[in-house]
């Protein structure tokens, strides 16, 4: 089976996506400076029973890097437009890291299009994040990113990863992933898109976009949270806290993985996803139900508005 690459044009810009398999649709959303290619090992395992679609986000992979909006909402809208164009109305949505934040935003904006939601080492669930990402959000970071993306530096990182992996060190996979991620950043437009995306969710103090106050909305939807036990980029406690806040959610850890479970333990991640998909029924939230779901907490959060006094009879004083 092949994880085929396809190209379409959306709003005048090139968008790349990969697709494999046949069956109910599953959408895989990659993280920052990753691409759809990084999902291949997981996608091919899911494709025996599911139609797997993985887009390159705008400014990432081989999709166009444009001057524009790289917020979570903009990425969610782009995914909606892609799925609509290729004829997918509803799907299970899986997001890794930044892609987890986009997946949650996609659900929030288009709940009727989501059957299940899975968050893999997800952003948007707490404040803390690695010093490397906080540093990349600093003013002047573009020069440092250009240096790391330089071909010789990148090749040195990849070679170090190859040697560490050959010695059996799992950190080698992490370095290889960083090296691959840096390849597109040799282009100025891609570096600009990366910084725009990063700064839309992270500043020098950490993550400044949070979905915590809206996790209760997922109570109507099958939700899976997966975390690598050795993740030093986003702490596992974020996933545990989200699990406590999302009714009927499932939380799984992968001991072999750090922040990139789809690269470090694709077999373990695919097995977790398949078990969850097999054991849950697709959720369905109609547009007509959304108001009741959003308003379910209103009596506990708001004081009831006072009832207006009746207007005085015509001709009476006052």
**Residue 231 a catalytic site member:** yes
From first CA to last CA, the distance across the chain in angstroms is: 80
**Residue 275 a catalytic site member:** no
Which of 98, 142, 138, 105 lies closest to 120 in space, CA to CA?
98
Name the catalytic one among 75, 238, 243, 259.
259
Q: How does strand 91-96 pair with strand 51-55?
A: unpaired
Name the catalytic one among 35, 56, 231, 265.
231
Query: Mapped to the 3 state alphabet, what secondary structure does the chain carry?
Result: CCCEEEEEEECCEEEEEEEECCCCEEEEECCCCCCHHHHHHHHHHHCCCCEEEEECCCCCCCCCCCCCCCCHHHHHHHHHHHHHHCCCCCEEEEEECHHHHHHHHHHHHCHHHEEEEEEECCCCCCCCCCHHHHHHCCCCHHHHHHHHHCHHHHHHHHHHHHHHHHCCCCHHHHHHHHHHHHHHHHCHHHHHHHHHHHHCCEECCEECCCCHHHHHHHHHCCEEEEEECCCCCCCHHHHHHHHHHCCCCEEEEECCCCCCHHHHCHHHHHHHHHHHHHHCCCCCCCHHHHHHHHHHHHHHHCCCCCCCCCCCCCCCCC
Name the catalytic one among 35, 63, 97, 121.
97
**Residue 48 a catalytic site member:** no
Give me the active site residues, please.
Answer: 97, 231, 259
């Amino acid at each position: 089976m092949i994880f085929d690459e396809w190209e379409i044009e959306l709003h005048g810009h090139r968008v790349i996506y990969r697709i494999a398999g046949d069956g109910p649709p599953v959408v895989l959303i990659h993280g920052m400076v990753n691409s759809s290619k990084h999902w291949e090992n997981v996608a091919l395992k899911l494709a025996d029973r599911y139609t797997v679609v993985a887009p390159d986000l705008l400014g990432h992979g081989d999709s166009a890097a444009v001057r524009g909006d790289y917020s979570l909402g903009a990425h969610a809208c782009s995914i909606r437009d892609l799925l609509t164009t290729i004829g997918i109305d509803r799907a299970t949505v899986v997001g890794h890291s930044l892609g987890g934040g986009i997946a949650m935003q996609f659900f929030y904006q288009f709940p009727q299009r989501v059957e299940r939601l899975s968050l893999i080492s997800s952003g948007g669930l707490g404040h803390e994040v690695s010093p490397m990402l906080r540093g990349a959000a600093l003013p002047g970071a573009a020069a440092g990113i250009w240096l790391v993306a330089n071909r010789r530096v990148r090749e040195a990182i990849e070679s170090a990863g190859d040697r560490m992996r050959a010695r059996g060190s799992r950190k080698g996979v992490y370095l290889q992933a960083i090296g691959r991620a840096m390849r597109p950043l040799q282009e100025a437009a891609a570096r600009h898109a990366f910084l725009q995306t990063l700064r839309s969710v992270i500043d020098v103090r950490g993550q400044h976009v949070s979905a915590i106050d809206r996790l209760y909305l997922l109570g109507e939807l099958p939700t899976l949270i997966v975390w690598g036990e050795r993740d030093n980029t986003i702490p596992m406690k974020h996933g545990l806290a989200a699990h406590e806040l999302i009714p009927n959610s499932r939380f799984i850890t992968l001991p072999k993985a750090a922040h990139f479970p789809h690269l470090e333990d694709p077999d373990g991640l695919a097995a977790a996803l398949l078990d969850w998909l097999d054991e849950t029924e697709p959720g369905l939230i109609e547009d007509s139900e959304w108001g009741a779901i959003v308003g379910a907490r209103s009596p506990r959060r708001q004081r009831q508005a006072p009832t207006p006094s009746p207007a005085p009879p015509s001709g009476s004083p006052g």
